[in-house]
Structure 1
Amino acid sequence: MRDPLRTRRPKIVVIGGGTGLPVILGNLRDRDVDITAVVTVADDGGSSGIIRHYVNVVPPGDIRNVMVALAEVPNIYKDLFQYRFETTDDFFAGHAIGNLIIAALSEMRGGIFDAVQELSQLMRVNGHIYPAANEPLELHAQFADGSTLSGESEITAAHKLIKRVWVETSDHHDQPHAVQPVIDAIMDADQIVLGPGSLFTSILPNLMIEGVGKAVKESPAEVVYICNIMTQKGETENFTDADHVRVLNQHLNENFIDTVLVNTRKVPDQYIDYQRWDEMSQPVRHDFQGLRDQGCRVISTDFLELRDNGAFHNGQEVVHELLNLIGQPRYRMKRRL
């Protein structure tokens, strides 16, 4: 019987947000794969948060960065799209031009989803960019002490142990729903990739949308989690890699993570500039037995890229492993506990 993956491009769906997502997508862009990026719409910080406050649209920052990562236009277009006005420009201070364009087109087209599809054509995006929902969502968290907060920036700034998160529409009247192309892409995927990115504020907000988490669990694709290299202040301090996976599984009430990519190269002591990278806390500790107890296949190697006194994923190495997984026999033998 002919292997369908040998006759067509593998379909890879990457789910997340924040700064980690574009690193993976940028390295996937030039590979012979069909890429779909599902991007969180629950951001409320920076330029995105200000635009969301004054214009009732989905925060555009994560979508802007993903679009640049997948765009195949001259660099001057990308640079212009990413340009952020200086703080001395009182009216536009801190705003990225791309954020303003996405917000404007969202108003013109009556929603973020159609706006992003149209802009993707203009930017010659190699792949698909799907906002996880077509409306701005609000992230909520319950902490271990029973208290609750709403808003991504408020939740992170609380520096408290998070028990669970969920999302609501901004008006709190309706249950958030994913647009159908998001569900279709997940169900038709050959591989689903989560991360890298903030566990509670970039990855889980997508999975908490009605239909998205269910589709990820039901999809025949293997689910791969790219574990963070560093823990994050206010979210995952003192977490092991197994703790990250445990939180994901608990939120979806099932051990749905099949494979975990774990960095094993040590971050040099005194290398991290914790003032510049104030969200980084400490290297994620390893608990390989804890991962295996949750039914995970563990791929551990050097995924580390040291630059600018920060610790990040080496996108080339990560993508190399993702593509290796697609070619392995076990890849199509999805295992659930």
Structure 2
Amino acid sequence: MAGSWLGPFPSPFLTLNLPQFPFSTRSHSMSTLRSQNPNPSCSSIPNPTPAAQPSLLVFSGGTAFNGVVEDLKTFTTRVAHVLPVSDDGGSTAEIVRVLGGPAVGDIRSRCLRLADKSTSEAVAVRQLLGHRLPLDARQAKSEWYDIVEGEHNLWTGVSKPYRETIRTFLVYFQNQILRRSDESFCFSNGSIGNFFFAGARVFFRSLDAAIFLFSRVSDIPSESLVLPVISTNDRLTLGCELSDGTIIRGQNEISHPTKGYMALVNKGNSSAPALSSRIKRVFYMSSEGQNLLHEVFPAPNPAVMDQLRNVDCIVYAMGSLFTSVCPSLVLIGIGEIISSRSCPKVLLLNGTHDRETSGFSASCFVTAITDALNRTYGAPHNCLKNLPSHYINTLLVPKDGEIPVNVQCLADQGIFEVIVVDSVHDPKVGVVFDPKSLIQALDDLIGRHMPTNVKVV
């Protein structure tokens, strides 16, 4: 694997030899893909899926939608999962602090949910990459050394080719940490998958290549895409402006503030103080912006744009509205494509309120998504003036959810299809969609819009 594919590698690893991947028969070798596309990513993998399966694009974060991923695979594997790269909590924050670059936590989380579980080795690999180190810093560091040296019992059931592949990038990650001796890295509550992912990203100097590698190692179906909404190797910070003019910097500070990077992130953090006013908009920030807010305007991932133009259904998933969904919507070009499509555009309404949407009704969710896609509060020359119905034409609502649904208000926004879906009670977050009922609702909805000669299975 010389530098002809992804450019020259860092000098300490010019002679690093990666082992051959034990791909399944449906996968393509990296050398084959390299000859087909000089800049491979998940989006470059050939799609052998029967045309009978509908294709979806889902805007989501890495937590709330994970609960339906397994059931969604039984409906269709032709799903493009679009995820933000601005998470700054947990071990992701520690990696970004020391190594820089985009956040990989949400992407790693979705990749693991999509990973194969059909063999004992696949389960072992999934358990290894899904493992978190102890909260105690000393214990975490000790366990990390056992893992990176190949002595931990998590390696049981992982064959030599997989072991060598995974360890290569864990060792490389460790090397990068040690080279930054002025920064003391904390392994507390660290995700092994995040460390593997970060090692691959830095090694290849490409987020797309790291996703490709992770997808192959965890044997994700080749027609399932995990796409960062921004294809970048730079660090991005999410900011938000409240209606009273307050500016908050950092995704965690907006949605679920914690006491330092070692603290556990509670996605349903009801103890966090309420925001002083409603969120007006979210935007991207850096230390090198041209204005007082250091606001920047990154370009969306071209692979996301390509998928938006062709999928059979666009889904805005449940979860953190302003920090999981809207960061993918405010990018220039996203609103233009979605408004031009005539396919189902579905909002999955949350079942409970959170810090970001306290006091919101269903129509408030619609307004927030419309404002994000129209870039209503951004630079005037970048704003659109599309109606809500250009972006959302169907609302799926969990039965007995907390969010008020005023059908007339939604009709005034041009949304006339409101479907109530069975729900279950999650002890951690409250009312959530029953996964099987949600998938059935999507099946019925998409089936009504698919060509008559195509059968949805």
Query: Aligned partners of 1:206, 1:331: CA distance in 2, in Å?
Result: 29
Q: Identify unmatched segments of 5+ residues in structure 1.
A: 1-5, 267-282, 333-337
For residue 287 of structure 1, what is the aligned residue in structure 2? 406
Deviation larger for 82-91 or 125-134: 82-91
Does the 8 Å CA contact 2:344/2:449 hold for their aligned counterparts? Answer: no
Out of 71, 77, 92, the position equivalent to 1:48 is 92
- Map Cα deviations across residues 119-148 of structure 1 (whole Å, 9 max, x no partner): 112211121111111223221211111121
Query: Aligned partners of 1:322, 1:172: CA distance in 2, in Å?
Result: 41
Equivalent residue runs for 1:311-322 within 5 Å: 311=430, 312-322=432-442
- Would you say 1:9 and 2:53 are equivalent positions? yes
3-state SS in 1 of match to 2:92 = helix
Shift of 1:329: 4.1
Query: Aligned partners of 1:42, 1:331: CA distance in 2, in Å?
Result: 38
Query: Aligned partners of 1:228, 1:318: CA distance in 2, in Å?
Result: 13
Query: Aligned partners of 1:48, 1:26: CA distance in 2, in Å?
Result: 24
For residue 195 of structure 1, what is the aligned residue in structure 2? 317
Does the 8 Å CA contact 2:421/2:433 hold for their aligned counterparts? Answer: no
Out of 126, 135, 141, the position equivalent to 1:78 is 126
Q: Match for 1:188: what amino acid? A: N
Query: Aligned partners of 2:111, 2:373: CA distance in 1, in Å?
Result: 29
Q: Match for 1:48: what amino acid? A: T
1:306–1:81 CA distance, 2 compared to 1 (3 A): same
- Map Cα deviations across residues 40-96 of structure 1 (whole Å, 9 max, x no partner): 111111111121111112211111111111111422222211111001243411111
1:231–1:109 CA distance, 2 compared to 1 (3 A): same
Q: TM-score, normalised by structure 1?
A: 0.85
Identical positions, percent: 26
Query: Aligned partners of 2:212, 2:288: CA distance in 1, in Å?
Result: 25
1:50–1:132 CA distance, 2 compared to 1 (3 A): same
For residue 240 of structure 2, what is the aligned residue in structure 1? 141
Does the 8 Å CA contact 2:201/2:207 hold for their aligned counterparts? Answer: yes
Does the 8 Å CA contact 1:169/1:175 hold for their aligned counterparts? Answer: no
1:111–1:99 CA distance, 2 compared to 1 (3 A): same
- Would you say 1:263 and 2:385 are equivalent positions? no
Query: Aligned partners of 1:138, 1:83: CA distance in 2, in Å?
Result: 26
Shift of 1:169: 5.2
Out of 303, 320, 323, the position equivalent to 1:181 is 303
Query: Aligned partners of 2:362, 2:328: CA distance in 1, in Å?
Result: 20
Equivalent residue runs for 1:1-337 within 5 Å: 7-73=51-117, 74-90=122-138, 91-126=186-221, 127-135=224-232, 136-156=235-255, 157=257, 159-160=275-276, 161-168=278-285, 171-172=288-289, 175-233=297-355, 235-253=356-374, 254=386, 255=388, 256-265=391-400, 283-311=402-430, 312-329=432-449
Query: Aligned partners of 1:109, 1:215: CA distance in 2, in Å?
Result: 31
Shift of 1:204: 0.2
Does the 8 Å CA contact 1:168/1:176 hold for their aligned counterparts? Answer: no
Does the 8 Å CA contact 1:239/1:284 hold for their aligned counterparts? Answer: yes
3-state SS in 2 of match to 1:305 = strand
Query: Aligned partners of 1:48, 1:194: CA distance in 2, in Å?
Result: 24
Q: Identify unmatched segments of 5+ residues in structure 2.
A: 1-49, 139-185, 258-273, 291-295, 375-385, 453-457
Does the 8 Å CA contact 2:88/2:250 hold for their aligned counterparts? Answer: yes
1:220–1:300 CA distance, 2 compared to 1 (3 A): closer
Pairwise CA RMSD of aligned residues? 2.3
3-state SS in 2 of match to 1:260 = strand
Which has the larger share of strand?
1
Does the 8 Å CA contact 1:47/1:94 hold for their aligned counterparts? Answer: yes
Deviation larger for 316-325 or 171-180: 171-180
- Map Cα deviations across residues 220-275 of structure 1 (whole Å, 9 max, x no partner): 43211101111112x11011111111111122233111111112325xxxxxxxxx
Query: Aligned partners of 1:111, 1:170: CA distance in 2, in Å?
Result: 21
Shift of 1:171: 4.0
Q: Match for 2:393: what amino acid? A: D
- Map Cα deviations across residues 199-221 of structure 1 (whole Å, 9 max, x no partner): 10000000112223332223343
Does the 8 Å CA contact 1:16/1:39 hold for their aligned counterparts? Answer: yes
Shift of 1:318: 1.2
Aligned residues: 311
Does the 8 Å CA contact 2:75/2:439 hold for their aligned counterparts? Answer: no
Query: Aligned partners of 1:206, 1:213: CA distance in 2, in Å?
Result: 10
Shift of 1:162: 0.9
